[in-house]
Structure 1
Amino acid sequence: MSQTTFSTQSSLPLPDAFSTGLTALFADARPAIVQVHVDQRGGGTGIVWSADGQILTNNHVIAGMRSQLQVHFADGTTLDATILHRHPQLDLALLKVHAKDLPTLVPGDSDALRIGEWVFAIGHPWGQRWVVTAGIVSRLSSVQLTPQLKTRYIQSDVRLAPGNSGGPLLNAEGKVVGINAMIFGGDLSVAIPSQVVKAWLEALPGRRPTLGVELQIVPLPAPIQQQLSNGQTQGLLIVGLPGRQDRYTDLFLGDILLEAAGQPVTDVKMLRKILAVQEGKELSLKIVRGGQIHVLPAALLITD
């Protein structure tokens, strides 16, 4: 996904640069934002969090579901969804649809937000689909939800309405810095910080990013070693595709993994450590295929 930044050094006047940047941000983000329908009524907004069909939203969006849960995509596709996990106190829920190669949004660092920074929301207020609103960060605060649970919130003056819940709060680069959750006093919007979301997802039982392949450590051919500047002498040979072959065609039997996310991989433990922090990101792999080194994007699978 392209990253759009606004700069006063642009050759365009500031209003034009702002407008152009916001237009690009919306175009990039829109395919990864869905409308969540609960029992055939519009309940709120959701974010495609992983390419294999995991969708993040608010718990209160799906709390009253009795029979049917569906998500509508910007291209007109409608898919049935199931609830994987939910956290009523944090007001977060993780849904699942049967799909692959879905566009995703890139998580941002909510801890880096500053008061006065521009932020943007995309959602479905009052059933109006894919509406974008803009504002600034007004306050960063924390709330004691229970005696054992304290969490943080982002307050902004971004205009929200019923139907925006579960949608993204984006920074100027188009990265998700929060999940829009509620409105106070008619004009104060509150979002759950992306760092809170990441921590919850990482703590879910059995949840693990994976490539869905079987691997074996092998020595690298001498010509390949000579092309590498890091002294790497071994890689990971793909000997099976049990979790991948029915979904993706980006990796093949016989490929040798050299790097993941720019880091050398010489054993499976090292690869797992790298993948553990790649969820929601664009993963790049360096591989050997047919005696040649290639760099290619690869989709992550999420096990539950």
Structure 2
Amino acid sequence: MTQSTTPSTQSSSPLPDAFSSTLSGLFNQVRPAIVQVRNERHGGGTGIVWQADGQIITNNHVVPQDGEGIQIHFTDGRTLPARVLHRQPQFDLALLKVQAEQLPTLPAGDSDSLRVGEWVFAIGHPWGQRWTVTAGIVSTMSTRQVEPEVTIPYIKSDVRLAPGNSGGPLLNADGQVVGINAMIFGGDLSVSIPSNVVSAWLKDLPRSQAILGVGLQRIDLPTAIRQQLADHSDNGLLVVSVVERPAAQQAILLGDLLLEIEGQPIQGVHSIRQNLANKAPGQQVTLKIARAGKLQTITTTLIATE
């Protein structure tokens, strides 16, 4: 069953109208968090926004090589470049990153609770047809041996998949991701990687540290700045380089002088590191700066280390 974005005056579906209405609502709810992944050499597939800071899950075979000009297409018309953060070829998983914040995400469901016969749905871009939904039922939970001592569980269903669906979500009736669509085995059975496998892999990845995304140089504070500050050291940190971000997020500028972070005087780079130690990429921090000789308070969003 394929979801059309144009409603029909007469329904030919054998399913009850209430079911069709619920499926339409589910489609509209989850669609913004599902993206199209394209690269220069190997066509495209589908991806899922997993974290609001721009982390996207797809299949490893969708982006088999680094540096291939990976492009992510969003429902709002944006196209952003992406890079590969991590790969897991055995599970056919890849984690991508785009420079964006506050993206819509999909919640991960518990794949271990899936039952044979339960309704599931896939959304992707089969044969380049963007944001197409198909429905089916869970046929069986199976395993596949990828190495002599490595066995991976899989979800098999009769959801219709085609090239372009790879990396997209298998959803339950609550709109939760219970699997990542990976490939088609013999017959009509489609295969998905369980969401619990994906979550466990991501949990074990090295954690990115939160940083301001600037290069700093310690300098003596100008006399005019010292006179505006009480009980402050005679040193400050001059911004000498800035990581490129979207213009709307570029709060810190070249030449800014960092004086305080979260209300605490900055004694040096070590004091910034201490303040950011328990923060995560995507969080915001408040800075007191001197810009063009005037004190200002700004808010900036932390980014992740490479």
Q: Residue 173 and residue 141 in structure 1: after superposition, are their counterparts in 2 closer, same or farther (change >3 A)?
A: same
Counterpart position of 1:241 = none
State the TM-score, normalized to the length of structure 1: 0.65
Residue correspondence of structure 1 range 180-219 to structure 2 within 5 A: 180-207=181-208
Structure 1 or 2, whichever has the larger Rg, is 2
TM-superposed deviation, 1:206: 2.8
For the residue of structure 2 that corresponds to 1:152, the secondary structure is strand
Per-residue deviation, residues 242-296 of structure 1 (Å, max 9, x unmatched)? xxx9589xxx958xxxxxxxxxxxxxxxxx7xx99xx9xxxxxxxxxxxxxxxxx
Give aligned pairs, total: 220
AA at the equivalent of 1:130 = W
State the TM-score, normalized to the length of structure 2: 0.64
Q: Kindly indicate whether the alpha-carbon contact (under 8 Å) linking 2:146 and 2:152 is maintained by their aligned counterparts in 1.
A: yes
Counterpart position of 1:227 = none
TM-superposed deviation, 1:149: 1.8
Counterpart position of 2:164 = 163
TM-superposed deviation, 1:186: 4.5
Q: Residue 26 and residue 247 in structure 1: after superposition, are their counterparts in 2 closer, same or farther (change >3 A)?
A: farther
Counterpart position of 1:122 = 123
AA at the equivalent of 1:201 = L
Counterpart position of 1:105 = 106
Q: Kindly indicate whether the alpha-carbon contact (under 8 Å) linking 1:42 and 1:127 is maintained by their aligned counterparts in 2.
A: no
Q: Residue 301 and residue 26 in structure 1: after superposition, are their counterparts in 2 closer, same or farther (change >3 A)?
A: farther
User: Aligned partners of 2:17, 2:114: CA distance in 1, in Å?
Assistant: 24
Counterpart position of 2:91 = 90
AA at the equivalent of 1:47 = I
Q: Residue 172 and residue 35 in structure 1: after superposition, are their counterparts in 2 closer, same or farther (change >3 A)?
A: same
Q: Kindly indicate whether the alpha-carbon contact (under 8 Å) linking 1:52 and 1:300 is maintained by their aligned counterparts in 2.
A: no
TM-superposed deviation, 1:165: 0.2
Q: Does 1:172 align with 2:143?
A: no
Q: Kindly indicate whether the alpha-carbon contact (under 8 Å) linking 2:138 and 2:158 is maintained by their aligned counterparts in 1.
A: yes
Residue correspondence of structure 1 range 18-167 to structure 2 within 5 A: 18-39=19-40, 42-64=43-65, 67-167=68-168
Q: Kindly indicate whether the alpha-carbon contact (under 8 Å) linking 2:166 and 2:183 is maintained by their aligned counterparts in 1.
A: yes
Q: Kindly indicate whether the alpha-carbon contact (under 8 Å) linking 1:51 and 1:300 is maintained by their aligned counterparts in 2.
A: no
User: Aligned partners of 2:130, 2:83: CA distance in 1, in Å?
Assistant: 22
TM-superposed deviation, 1:185: 2.3
Identity score, percent: 65
Q: Residue 185 and residue 23 in structure 1: after superposition, are their counterparts in 2 closer, same or farther (change >3 A)?
A: same
Counterpart position of 1:295 = none
